[in-house]
Amino acid sequence: MTLTQSSSHPALAVDGLWKVFGPRADRIVGTELADLSRDELRDRTGCLVAVRDVSFEVATNEVFVVMGLSGSGKSTLVRCLTRLIEPTAGAVRYDGDDIVQADARRLRQLRRHRFGMVFQHFGLLPHRRVLDNIGYGLEIRGVRKAERDRRAGEVLDLVGLSGYADHYPDQLSGGMQQRVGLGRALAVDPQILFFDEPFSALDPLIRRDMQNEVVRLHHEVGKTMVFITHDLHEALRLGDRILIMRDGAVVQIGRPDEVVGAPADDYVRDFVADVPKSHVLTIRWVMRPVRPEDPLDGPEIGPDLIVRDAARVVLAATAPVRVVHDGQLLGMVDDDAILRVIVAEDDRRPAPAPRDGSAPGPGATTQDAEAVVAP
């Protein structure tokens, strides 16, 4: 998971997307009615705005996570992306092809050939073996049985279910059933995989296992993934970038370190308050400008190294560590900067502001930089 920002040719581009439930929903979009409170809007029109003018892009091979509390509109959003729910307004483009404008035939084609979906309730066919469940999408595409079984067999190994081809879903644990769901989505070799809270029903250990599985699969097959969750830790673990939603609208889109290091508002700040910052923030967030008197013979590290992973090198060094990218010296890191982040995780009392004018990460405010070291 190395991609951190959208490329010029995104796999998915969402532009001004709205979903309003209720009668004559399109009269709400972009008017002052949409600014009414939820209750007022319901009383006056019988409508509810579930997705509010949402725009974002997902780069090819990116893992893009949509996160928000229950009712914030995540499921509605992801269903609009494949038109399982009909958007009220806006565009959803795949390689430039707007799915909102697609006729029924084109829509079917897109769904069969481009998308894979993994939901919380696995939706497995109970009377079919694991192998046949995994091959189901290929069957719908009209792929012959021998080829289906060959491909399903490959995917079976990929999702860690070797030896379970002939089992039936009810003979498997929840985690294993979700592996079948994952396998079924992967078997058709989709361009984009959509996950709608796929692991919410699993117990925490299995859930972690499955998250690792997604990370591993992403490394192996390198798919574009859109992942919905209400769990911040899941979002931070999986996402190249995270979109945070509230009341149907986008509150922030950023890399995990940006969301944790520079939360857009109090809503996000609350979300990330308990995140161990050294596990998420990169060296970029704690380095300071180079001073003329700095010795330049210390060790060298990259700016995107996670603070926790850099701690050993920095704390063992006898000179300040140089932060270098593409041969360019970006800044320096001292023991202090590392310790401030780590100590702040144990001790949430206000700590002193940085003494050395440490450079906060890209786009951060002074307040954000202080929040990083002294939450």
CA atoms of 357 and 100, how far apart (whole Å): 49
Answer for which of 75, 82, 133, 252 binds ligand ATP (CB under 6 A) is 75
> Does 252 help bind ligand ATP (rule: CB under 6 A)?
no
CA atoms of 172 and 326, how far apart (whole Å): 49
What do you get for the CA distance between the two ends of the chain, in Å? 28
Residue type for 345, please?
E
Q: Binding string, 3-42, against ligand ATP, x = CB under 6 A?
A: ------------------x---------------------
Contact criterion met (CB below 8 Å) for 130 and 166: yes
Answer for which of 12, 25, 68, 88 binds ligand ATP (CB under 6 A) is 68
By three-state DSSP, how is residue 258 classified?
A: helix
- Which one, 39 or 103, has the nearer CB to ligand ATP? 39
CA atoms of 298 and 322, how far apart (whole Å): 6
Task: Count the residues of the shown chain that bind ligand ATP, applying the rule CB under 6 A.
Answer: 12
Q: How far is CA 176 from CA 245, 247, 284, 367, in A?
A: 30, 34, 39, 45
- Which one, 117 or 333, has the nearer CB to ligand ATP? 117
User: What is the four-CA torsion angle of 233, 235, 237, 242, rounded to 10 degrees?
Assistant: -130
Residue type for 43, please?
D
> Does 116 help bind ligand ATP (rule: CB under 6 A)?
no
CA atoms of 302 and 325, how far apart (whole Å): 6
Residues in the chain: 375
Cα–Cα–Cα angle for 336, 339, 340, rounded to 5 degrees: 80
Given the rule CB under 6 A, which of 24-32, 71-79, 155-163, 337-345 is the region that contacts ligand ATP? 71-79
> Does 87 help bind ligand ATP (rule: CB under 6 A)?
no
> Does 284 help bind ligand ATP (rule: CB under 6 A)?
no
Provide, rounded to whole angstroms, the least separation between the CB of residue 194 and ligand ATP.
Answer: 13
Answer for which of 25, 41, 50, 369 binds ligand ATP (CB under 6 A) is 50
> Does 168 help bind ligand ATP (rule: CB under 6 A)?
no
Q: How far is CA 189 from CA 91, 182, 267, 297, in A?
A: 24, 11, 37, 49
User: What is the four-CA torsion angle of 39, 41, 43, 46, rounded to 10 degrees?
Assistant: -120
Strand order in the sheet with 12-21: 48-58, 12-21, 89-94, 97-98
Provide, rounded to whole angstroms, the least separation between the CB of residue 160 and ligand ATP.
Answer: 27
Tokens of 355: 């003494």
> Does 72 help bind ligand ATP (rule: CB under 6 A)?
yes
Provide, rounded to whole angstroms, the least separation between the CB of residue 95 and ligand ATP.
Answer: 26
Collect all residues with Cβ–Cβ distance below 8 Å to 123 and sequence separation of at least 6.
Answer: 181
Given the rule CB under 6 A, which of 65-73, 140-148, 280-288, 328-336 is the region that contacts ligand ATP? 65-73
Provide, rounded to whole angstroms, the least separation between the CB of residue 151 and ligand ATP.
Answer: 32
Provide, rounded to whole angstroms, the least separation between the CB of residue 227 and ligand ATP.
Answer: 13
Answer for which of 1, 3, 48, 330 binds ligand ATP (CB under 6 A) is 48
> Does 52 help bind ligand ATP (rule: CB under 6 A)?
no
> Does 73 help bind ligand ATP (rule: CB under 6 A)?
yes
Given the rule CB under 6 A, which of 64-72, 298-306, 334-342, 356-364 is the region that contacts ligand ATP? 64-72
CA atoms of 209 and 175, how far apart (whole Å): 8
Provide, rounded to whole angstroms, the least separation between the CB of residue 200 and ligand ATP.
Answer: 8
Residues 190 to 249: which contact ligand ATP by CB under 6 A? Answer: 230
- Which one, 118 or 186, has the nearer CB to ligand ATP? 118
By three-state DSSP, how is residue 253 classified?
A: strand
Provide, rounded to whole angstroms, the least separation between the CB of residue 267 and ligand ATP.
Answer: 14
> Site residues (CB under 6 A) for ligand ATP?
21, 48, 50, 68, 70-76, 230
